Homo-oligomer: A and B are copies of this chain.
């Protein structure tokens, strides 16, 4: 099936799954980060990520970069994944080393393979549109030394995302030249970006050939590249674990956006080979309990008539509206409350105002400082 859709392009998804499990505490923990939770629907976020790519490829061609806390759970959730393609980082080093390692590993197998880097913790609605967009992006990435990013049309002046400033359309109209990647803007800047119309949210989904990405890493992260190449060289040998453990922590702790895309964009929009394919599917990075609430309420229409989104063993609301409630086994009664996030797990209970749900990370930070390892 992948053959027919992508015309024999060797497409290799590289799934980044290195979450630390803080934003969806207490459901998420180090060993149960967002990626492996079924936050939206029956299957986990990473299972949905894989499922979504199925029409274009198979698990045999899929790589997952994760950490020691999550790897076992991921292996359990994806029984068809070849064990050697579940790469367990010995230390968290952000996305540049993770993507770079994948590039060097796959380059050895086929430098023309097209790597698709995908976060494993975003929700995407309307899969046919996603697949159409992705095929365009893969084809463009395969057409030369191109770096293709999927850009999301911004719905609001979000300050939590990076933005892509785009320029001219390419001749066939399937993508835009990228002028610049920006870091997370302040409110004023974000409003300006949205008003201008040629700015897109950086989805974190990138397409490029193994050769292109490997060369970009060699060019832009020159001290890290040889370390990653040495690790890739040891892959499949008895020394691999040791080499990986020794060298990987020495790699620069930097995102691929910051390490590669921003400097590359400085070459100018017609020389950088950076392209943005506009995503026309629903997308949500579910960055907090509040955004999960919003997503389930508006996109999934899962709320009741009082705007309560509930996953409980039954509930009753008396003068209670616009709450998110997770307590899958219990009967929950809500009385006179509004805009709360209530998350009940076996050993911990969170009650937060929805406006404060970004503070959930602070709880985990404090628990760590308190040494309450059993709760993080």
Contacts and interface: CB of A to CB of B under 8 A. Distances in A.
A92 interface: no
A174 interface: no
A311 to B, nearest CB: 13
Interface residues of A, number: 41
A243 interface: no
Copies of this protein in the complex: 2
Interface stretch (A35-43, A254-262, A330-338): A330-338
A356 B26 contact: no
B349 A336 contact: no
Contacts of A351: 323, 325, 332-335, 337, 340, 342, 351
Contact of A318 (B316, B335, B336, B359): B359
Contacts of A346: 330
Given A318-B356, A318-B362, A344-B344, A349 B337 contact: no
A348 B331 contact: yes
A335 to B, nearest CB: 4
Q: Nearest 8 pairs between A and B by C-beta?
A: A336-B356, A336-B353, A335-B352, A331-B348, A332-B349, A333-B363, A335-B356, A333-B350
Given A336-B353, A336-B356, 13 more contacts: A318-B359, A325-B351, A330-B347, A330-B348, A330-B349, A332-B349, A332-B350, A333-B348, A333-B352, A333-B360, A335-B357, A335-B363, A336-B352
